[in-house]
Each structure stands twice: as C-alpha cells, then as structure tokens.
Amino acid sequence: MPIYTYKCPGCQRQFDHFCKIAEMRQQEPCECGRLADKILVPAMAQPDLPGYECPITGEWIDGRRAHKENLKKRGCRVLEPGERQEFIKRQSDRQKDFDKRTEQIVEKAARGMGLIR
C-alpha cells in the first residue's frame, strides 16, 4: 500500500496515511478536525537492516529478509514503540520488590538469631 503525506492548512501538522490506491483521497482529516491537503514527497528507498547477532542463537542475521525469517523461525515479533521501556520498568519494579522482600527476610532471620534487636 502506498504512503501519502498530508499537511493541514490550519495547524500546519504534517502526517502520513497508508491506503490502497483505490481508496486514495485528495484530502484526509487531520487531528484538529480540518481536512489536510495531499503534498508531493519524493520517493524514498528504505535501506537494508544492518547485520546483528541473534540474541537467542548467536547466529549472524544480515539484512531485512534474514531478520523477518529469523523472527518467524523463533516465534518472535518486533517490539511496538514503548514496549521495551515498559518491559525495563516492570523488570526494575520486580527487582525492587524482590530486594525489599529479601531485606525483610534477612532482617527477620537476624532478629531470630539474636544478631540485631
């Protein structure tokens, strides 16, 4: 599907819209409510992905096609925007909770052995 770029004459916001050629319109609604005009943008070639080491197998993955095949083979998917940050935050929260509980257990054991009051 082609990507069309629009610019709102009211708020000057520029945005892209994916649609089938058959569904293409000259104007598309903007978030502000006004109709945005389609603007011409030169075509852009998407560069291939740089090579990387698969974190699961250590195998070298080179290029977009190999990346897609590797994700499919491993049952993985590309993270959505913000997902990595959410994962790191949850992991940090779990670690803090674990540390707090560990301190409580150690303190209780030390009190039971008479090491602290």
- The model's pLDDT over 14-43, given as tens digits with 9 standing for 90+, comes to 988 877 777 777 788 888 988 888 887 776
pLDDT at residue 73, as a whole number: 93
Q: Is the pLDDT of residue 114 over 80?
A: yes
Using 50, 70 and 90 to split pLDDT, how confident is the model at 61?
Answer: very high
**How many secondary structure helices (H) and strands (E) does the chain include?**
2, 6
Q: Is the pLDDT of residue 46 over 80?
A: no
What is the C-alpha to C-alpha distance for residues 117 and 110, in angstroms, rounded to an integer? 9
